[in-house]
Amino acid sequence: MTPAANQADRARARMLLSVAMRRELAPFDEIPPRLVLVDFDHQQLFLVEDGEATACYPVSTARDLGGEEGSNRTPPGWHRVHRKIGEGEPDGTIFVSREPTGETWQGQHDVRDLILTRVLTLEGLEDGINRGAGRDSLERYIYIHGTNHLGQLGEAVSHGCVRMAGIDVKDLFRRVREGDPVTIIGGAEPIA
């Protein structure tokens, strides 16, 4: 069942979308019909359709925003879903370097930061912020993906990616398409 966005979620998503559209390097003049919005400050991810948040999921990003290679930060700004990886794979499938390993996580304790179930690779759309030499989200292997650290959802503890529960990433995966915009907004990162 899709986690619906409540009235407060929808209001916050509208405010963040307004901030995203005012970014100096925003690639759109109008709000795209479908997009993913990551609320860095509240550790939530919204699916926005026709300008309204239709779903809200808890996530885990890095502690800080930043696009620098090797920073372990979550890159801010506008991206697009570059590839959807994992269609048809079993729940808990473990991925390494964007490929299924043949191993499946079954809920056991594992200290590794596993990439599970589905993967949405992110391509930056803002030159010098999340695209280009030394700050390229795609080359940094920045994803939206399932995680084995479910107890940390809602906390900023990832190594740069946007982590989700397996059931949630499967739902999002089903509802988005390659090429759909993704924007990551929040923190002290300036909007212009």
CATH number of 39's domain: 2.40.440.10
Which is more confident, 103 or 190?
Answer: 103
- pLDDT at 192 (0 to 100): 41
Question: For the residues of 16-84, what is the DSSP string, one character each?
Answer: HHHHHHTSTT-S-SS--SEEEEEETTTTEEEEEETTEEEEEEE-B--SSB---TTS--BPPEEEEEEEE
Task: Average the pLDDT over 73-95 and give the result.
Answer: 97
**1 located within any domain:** no
Distance of CA 42 to the CA centre of its chain: 13
Q: Which domain holds residue 50?
A: 7-185
Residue-level pLDDT at 150 = 96
Q: Please give the average per-residue pLDDT across 60-68, as a whole number.
A: 95
Chain centroid offset of residue 97 CA:
17
Residue 190 within any structural domain of the chain: no
Whole-structure pTM value: 0.94
Number of structural domains the chain divides into = 1
Residue 164 vs residues 17, 145, 151: alpha-carbon distances, Å: 21, 6, 11
The per-residue pLDDT for 191 is: 43
pLDDT at 131: 97
Across the range 77-82, mean pLDDT stands at 98
- Residue 1 is predicted with a pLDDT of 57
